[in-house]
Amino acid sequence: MPGYDHKRQRFLHRYRYGLPHWRQHHDGIRHGHRRRKEGNKPTSHRSRKIDKRQALILSGTALGVIMLVFGLSAWRSIANARRSLEKAQHFASLVVDKPNTLLSKTGRKHAAIALADVQHETKSAQQAIDHSLTLSLLSQLPYFGRQTRGISMLVKDLNSTAAAGSDVLGHLRGLLDSSSATSVNLPKLRQAGAAMGKAEVNLAALHHSGAGLYGPVASARAQFNEGNDHLVGLLHDGAQLSSILNAVLGGDGNKTFLLLGENNAEMRDQGAVLSWALLHTDHGSYTVDNAKGVGSLALDKPVDFSLAPNTDNLFGPLQPRQIWQSTNAWADFPTSGALMAKMYETKKGTPVDGVIAVDVPTLQALLALTGPVSVPGIDQPVSVANVSNILLNKLYQQFPRGDQRERQDLIAATAQAAIAALKQSPVDPARLAKALFAKAAGRHLLVYDASANIQQVVNHYGVSGSVDTKPFTSFHLSIQSAVAAKLDYWVQPRESVKVKLQADGGAIVTTTVTLKNRAPKGAKPSYALGGGPGSPYGPGEYRGRVYLWSPRGSFGAGAVSESGLMVTPAAVSVGPSSKKTIIFQTSIRKLVTDGEISLDFIPQPRVHPVFISVSVDPGPWHLKGKTEGHGLLSRSWNFSRSVSR
- Sign for the CA dihedral angle at 151, 155, 160, 162 comes to positive
DSSP state for residue 589 in the 8-state scheme: S
The residue among 440, 570, 577, 605 whose CA lies nearest residue 521 is 577
**DSSP 8-state assignment for residue 8:** S
Position 28 confidence tier, pLDDT thresholds 50, 70, 90? confident
Residue 19 counted as domain residue: no
User: 109-132 pLDDT, tens per residue?
Assistant: 888 888 788 777 777 777 766 766
**Average pLDDT of the chain?**
85
Strand 491-501 relative to strand 507-517, pairing: antiparallel
Mean pLDDT across the stretch 450-464? 88
Whether 334 and 457 have beta carbons less than 8 Å apart is answered as no
Where a domain ends, among 248, 271, 302?
248
Pairing of strands 596-602, 474-481: parallel
The pLDDT value given to residue 497: 98
Identify the pLDDT of residue 123: 78
Domain assignment of residue 314, yes or no:
yes
Dihedral angle of Cα 297, 298, 299, 303, to the nearest 10 degrees: 60
The predicted structure's pLDDT at residue 75: 47
Mark whether 284 and 423 lie in a shared domain.
yes
Please report which helix (H) or strand (E) contains residue 497, including its range. strand 491-501
C-alpha to C-alpha distance for 463 and 451, rounded to whole angstroms: 15
- Give the helix/strand (H/E) hosting 364: helix 360-370
Quick one: how far is CA 438 from the chain centroid?
10
Coil, helix or strand for 539? coil
Q: How confident is the model at residue 448 (pLDDT cuts 50, 70, 90)?
A: very high
- Give me the pLDDT at residue 70, please: 43
Q: Residues 246-294: pLDDT tens digits?
A: 988 999 889 999 999 999 999 999 999 988 999 999 999 988 887 788 8
Q: What is the mean pLDDT of residues 445-458?
A: 92
Q: Report the predicted TM-score, pTM, of the whole model to 2 decimal places.
A: 0.82
Buried b (16+ CB within 10 A) or exposed e, 607-616: bebbebebbb
pLDDT of 71 strictly over 60: no
Residue 314: its pLDDT value, please?
97
Among 44-58, 228-242, 548-562, the least confident range: 44-58
pLDDT in tens, 621-645: 999 999 999 999 999 999 999 999 8
For residues 321 and 343, what is the distance between their CA atoms, to the nearest angstrom? Answer: 7
Provide the pLDDT for residue 24: 80
Q: Computed from CA positions of residues 64, 65, 67, 68, in that sequence, does the dihedral angle turn out positive or negative?
A: positive
Are 417 and 409 in contact by the 8 Å Cβ rule? The answer is: no
Task: Identify whether residues 548 and 444 lie together within a single domain.
Answer: no
- Sort 323 into a burial class: Cβ within 10 Å, 0-12 / 13-18 / 19+: middle
Identify whether 25 is part of a domain. Answer: no
Is 157 or 468 the better-scoring residue by pLDDT? 468
The pLDDT score that the predictor gives to residue 74 is 45
Q: Dihedral, CA atoms, 62, 66, 68, 69, nearest 10 degrees?
A: 130
Q: Are residues 289 and 215 in the same domain?
A: no
Task: Tell me what pLDDT residue 29 has.
Answer: 79
Does 573 lie in the same domain as 435?
Answer: no
Range of the domain at 394: 255-460
Please report the pLDDT score of residue 399 as a whole number.
77
Region 330-351: mean pLDDT is: 97
Out of 248, 272, 298, a domain closes at 248
User: For the stretch 574-586, what's the b/e string if a residue is b when 16 or more beta carbons lie within 10 angstroms of its beta carbon?
Assistant: bebebebebebbb
Q: Which residue has the higher pLDDT, 239 or 92?
A: 239
* Greatest mean pLDDT among 201-215, 310-324, 443-457: 310-324
The pLDDT score that the predictor gives to residue 41 is: 54
Percentage of the chain exceeding pLDDT 90: 52
Q: Do residues 84 and 122 touch, judged by C-beta distance below 8 A? A: yes
Q: Judge whether 344 and 256 are in contact, CB under 8 Å.
A: no
pLDDT at 360: 93
Mean pLDDT of the region 459-467: 88
In a domain, 11, yes or no: no
At residue 68, the pLDDT reads: 44
Q: Report whether pLDDT(61) > 70.
A: no
Provide mean pLDDT across the span 514-532.
90
- Domain identity same for 413 and 268: yes
Q: Say how many C-beta atoms besides its own lie within 10 A of residue 342's C-beta.
A: 17
Read off the pLDDT of each residue in 572-584 and give the average, rounded to a whole number.
Answer: 96
The answer to whether position 566 is within a domain reads yes
Residue 227 has pLDDT above 90, yes or no: no
The two most distant CA atoms of the chain are separated, in Å, by 137
* pLDDT at position 49 over 70: no
CA proximity to 418, closest of 378, 365, 352: 365
Dihedral of CA 128/129/135/136: which sign?
negative
pLDDT for the residue 494: 97
| pLDDT value of residue 637 | 96
Closest CA to 126 of 90, 72, 81: 81
How far apart, in whole angstroms, are the C-alpha atoms of residue 5 and residue 483? 98
More confident residue, 105 or 90: 105
User: Which pLDDT does position 282 carry in this prediction?
Assistant: 92
Q: Report which listed range, 58-67, 160-169, 315-324, is most confident.
A: 315-324
For residues 233 and 282, state if they share a domain: no
Total domain count for the chain? 3
Q: For residues 318 and 548, what is the distance between their CA atoms, to the nearest angstrom? A: 18
pLDDT (tens digit, 9 = 90+) per residue, 356-376? 999 999 999 999 999 999 999
pLDDT at 485: 84
| pLDDT at residue 65, rounded to an integer | 44
Cross-strand bridge partners of residue 491: 517
pLDDT level of residue 108 (50, 70, 90 thresholds): confident
Name the DSSP letter for residue 146: H
Query: Does some domain include residue 39?
Result: no
Q: pLDDT band at residue 193, thresholds of 50, 70 and 90?
A: very high
CATH number at residue 274: 3.40.630
> Which residue, 407, 432, 460, sits at the end of a domain?
460
Taking phi first (over 0 means left), then psi (-120 to 50 degrees means alpha), and beta for anything else, what does residue 261 get? beta
User: Within this chain, do residues 236 and 265 fall inside the same structural domain, yes or no?
Assistant: no
Residue 416 pairs with which residues in a beta bridge? none
pLDDT band per the 50, 70, 90 thresholds, residue 598: very high
Domain shared by 391 and 371, yes or no:
yes
Q: H or E segment at 357? A: strand 354-359
Q: Are residues 244 and 260 in the same domain?
A: no
How far apart CA 158 and CA 91 sit, in angstroms, is 13
Residue 413 has pLDDT above 70, yes or no: yes
- Of 296, 350, 352, nearest to 324 by C-alpha is 296
- How remote is the C-alpha of 46 from its chain's centroid? 80
Q: Are residues 381 and 353 in the same domain?
A: yes
Q: How far is CA 210 from the centre of its chain?
A: 28
Phi, psi at 351, each rounded to 5° = -80, 165
pLDDT of 344 reads 97
Q: Is residue 208 part of a domain?
A: yes
Contact 45, 53 (CB under 8 A): no
- Same-domain pairing of 612 and 483: yes
Residue 41 lies in a domain: no
Residues 243 and 260 grouped into a single domain = no
